[in-house]
Structure 1
Amino acid sequence: MSAMPSSKLAPVRRIVIGHDNNAHSTIKYDSQLMSEHLTMGVEVKTLWITDTFPANTNIVGDPTESHSGFMAPGSLIRVVDFPPQSQGATHRTVSLDYIILVKGSLVHWTDDGSTTTVNEGDVLVQQGTMHRWDNNTDEWARIVCIILPATEPVINGQKLGDDSHSIGLS
């Protein structure tokens, strides 16, 4: 089996603004981010993470350097690239996700069998649901995900917990 090609989309540049010791605004980080490769050829770039809500704006250092796992106790923002003609892994996270499709077109699948085509500029709000992303086109697609921790969905007394092991994010 051959390796999936790397994303052909523009690199992601992360610019983080904070304060210097004189309380002036300053650029703390300005760099292109490397991808972490997941299952199905999907590439993810974690831009920023917070470990509290409300967020602590006095963070020293880059919180993405010591983070592992799919979720964060505060907020998390990621860019995810999907290769052409790919089917994503079905999963659920206990989170509230705001997802903006910024390039291409994807099909969002839910476990009741529903599919929704999501196009550039569309925003999807996901509330701890079982789902997957499919790219049925010949072009790479990119989403930006803002992920917030949430309570477990409870349907008819049944708790619907995390089921994200199939994604392959360490």
Structure 2
Amino acid sequence: MSDSFPRRRIVISNLDLDSSNDGAKTEPGVEVVTDSLVTENMFDGQLQRITIGTVSAVPASNEGRGLPAFADVPGSGIVLPGGVNIYFLDLAPGFTTPMHRTPSVDYVAVSQGTPTLITPKTAFSAEDGKADYEETIESLLRPGDVAVQRGVMHSWANRTDEWVRMIGMVIDAKPSEVVMDGNRLELGEKWLQ
């Protein structure tokens, strides 16, 4: 990934009020701490995830100072059970992610580049991790666009010669359900080849 992308976070927190204060100053100063973010290379470095922060439960707490710890995000590292996972997602030129679905509501904002969001157009079968979908819908996103994904199969592609950077906010959700032959079918996390 280009070194021009920032890889740090600035965390600001309230300081305690000075006990010698005569009560006239009721608003605290702030602590400012800078932290370097760590890049997680995936798919031979073609996809990079840089965690910005995690929130284990909502509402979150604003208590404390210093650098907040990152929660361990199980499985594929996308969905934090009961919480929120926020990260940069960088796609290399020419890279396409596997088609996948997570039990979450994802807000994915494009900050640089023009990624393509790929979704299946009609119902399909998936056996042994392989899908037989015949047609897809492709949505080209630009900086400032936001994709809202509600537990659906999707893939991201970078069909340009420049890196793409997106910011993902993944909120844990109940798995989607669809009706099939009068029965409800739960759609959990799934990855296809």
- Give matches, 1:59-138, under 5 Å: 61-64=67-70, 66-69=71-74, 70=77, 71-72=79-80, 73-112=82-121, 113-138=136-161
- Distance in 1 between residues matched to 2:155 and 2:32, nearest whole Å: 35
Q: Please, what TM-score do these two structures have when normalized by structure 1? A: 0.84
Q: Which runs of 5+ in 2 are unaligned?
A: 18-26, 122-135
Deviations 1:42-88 (A, max 9, x none): 00111111111111222565221x52332212122111100001111
Q: 2:59 aligns with which of 49, 54, 62?
A: 54
Q: 1:19 aligns with which of 7, 14, 36?
A: 14
Q: Does the CA-based 8 Å contact 1:79-1:142 persist in structure 2?
A: yes
User: Between the two proteins, what is the percent identity of the paired residues?
Assistant: 26
| Other structure's SS at 1:63 match | coil
- Distance in 1 between residues matched to 2:89 and 2:12, nearest whole Å: 22
- Distance in 1 between residues matched to 2:110 and 2:10, nearest whole Å: 20
- Distance in 2 between residues matched to 1:29 and 1:84, nearest whole Å: 33
Q: Does the CA-based 8 Å contact 2:86-2:167 persist in structure 1?
A: yes
Q: Please, what TM-score do these two structures have when normalized by structure 2? A: 0.75
- Distance in 2 between residues matched to 1:68 and 1:165, nearest whole Å: 21
Higher helix share: 1
Q: Which residue of 2 aligns with 1:162?
A: 189
Deviations 1:86-133 (A, max 9, x none): 111211111111111010001101123111111111111110111110
- Distance in 1 between residues matched to 2:101 and 2:174, nearest whole Å: 13
Q: Give the direction of change, closer, same or farther, for the CA distance of 1:116–1:74 in structure 2 (3 Å limit).
A: same
Q: Does the CA-based 8 Å contact 2:98-2:192 persist in structure 1?
A: no
Q: Give the direction of change, closer, same or farther, for the CA distance of 1:27–1:43 in structure 2 (3 Å limit).
A: farther
Q: 1:10 aligns with which of 5, 11, 33?
A: 5
Q: Which residue of 1 aligns with 2:35?
A: 31
Q: Does the CA-based 8 Å contact 2:91-2:164 persist in structure 1?
A: yes
| Other structure's SS at 2:62 match | coil
Question: Which structure is larger by alpha-carbon Rg, 1 or 2?
Answer: 2
- Distance in 1 between residues matched to 2:185 and 2:120, nearest whole Å: 16
Q: Give the direction of change, closer, same or farther, for the CA distance of 1:59–1:36 in structure 2 (3 Å limit).
A: farther
- Distance in 2 between residues matched to 1:161 and 1:88, nearest whole Å: 18
CA RMSD of aligned residues (A): 2.1
Q: Which residue of 1 aligns with 2:162?
A: 139
Q: Does the CA-based 8 Å contact 2:47-2:90 persist in structure 1?
A: yes
